[in-house]
Amino acid sequence: MKSLLFASLLVLAVLPMCKPDASKSTATATAESPASPAAVRAQFDILRDSADVNWTRMMASDDKKLADLRELLQDLSKYPGANQAQLASLRAARARLPKQRYDRRTMASSALIDRYDAAQDSVLKTVLPIAAPDGNAPSERVRDYVEHIQQADAEVLGYRAHYDRAAKAYNAYLQVHGAELQKLGGKYASVQPLPLFELSQ
């Protein structure tokens, strides 16, 4: 009886030692089973789409700001006593802004971004005090344009920060999986890192 009891206890003591290590098995499986080409492509597409969406939102906001600025200048020209020569000059300056704006390729030059920002700021700093001197707009419509423009201008840095985060994730993934993406061929063979708004340290 004692011999049988001892044997049973011995079996119970040995069983846990024989249990496979799940964490080691998972780690080994991960190391030996890298992401498939399809998985690499799918994840890259997600990151690229995220950067695209953030860029589109940022440009849409800037487009709306420029459109509101155009309409504001048009409205101001209708008020008695308006300085028509000054407003005409401001309309011309506003019309040049879209052509001066950077794109996803040219923004690699921080100087181009700075020039666009300076050109837009110059127009806004002249127009807004004319539209609402001391914060007093001549009409509700003009006040709405002024507020929308100011809000959009205040959101610029936020949009750029969101885009940079998405672009950094894209660039980091490209750095790790660049060789695998090139093997996929087609549009994946020539993908390049995305420029960022933040200055390099």
Q: What is the per-residue pLDDT across 156-188, written as a single tens digit (0 to 9) for each? A: 999 999 999 999 999 999 999 999 999 999 999
Average pLDDT of the residues of the chain: 86
Structure tokens at 93: 């300056």
Return the closest-CA partner of residue 102 out of 163, 40, 151.
163
> How many residues are listed for the chain in this entry?
201
DSSP, residue by residue, the chain: -HHHHHHHHHHHHHHHHHS--HHHHHHHHHHHSPPPHHHHHHHHHHHHHHHHHHHHHHHHHHHHHHHHHHHHHHHHTTSTT--HHHHHHHHHHHHHHHHH---TTGGG-HHHHHHHHHHHHHHHHHHHHHHSGGG--SSHHHHHHHHHHHHHHHTHHHHHHHHHHHHHHHHHHHHHHHHHHHHH-GGGGG--PPP-SSPP-
Predicted local distance difference test score (pLDDT) of residue 31: 31
Predicted local distance difference test score (pLDDT) of residue 51: 98
Report pLDDT digits (tens) over 104-147.
999 999 999 999 999 999 999 999 999 999 989 999 999 999 99
CA–CA distances in Å: residue 108 to residues 26, 47, 161: 42, 20, 16
- For residues 127 and 70, the answer to whether their CB atoms sit within 8 Å is no
Predicted local distance difference test score (pLDDT) of residue 199: 56
Task: Read off the pTM.
Answer: 0.80
Report pLDDT digits (tens) over 9-56.
344 444 444 444 444 433 333 333 357 999 999 999 999 999 999 999
Predicted local distance difference test score (pLDDT) of residue 35: 76
Q: Is the pLDDT confidence value at 92 over 50?
A: yes
Predicted local distance difference test score (pLDDT) of residue 198: 87
d(CA 36, CA 42): 10
Q: Measured between alpha carbons, how far apart are the two ends of the chain, in Å?
A: 78
User: CB within 8 A of 78, min separation 6: which ones?
Assistant: none
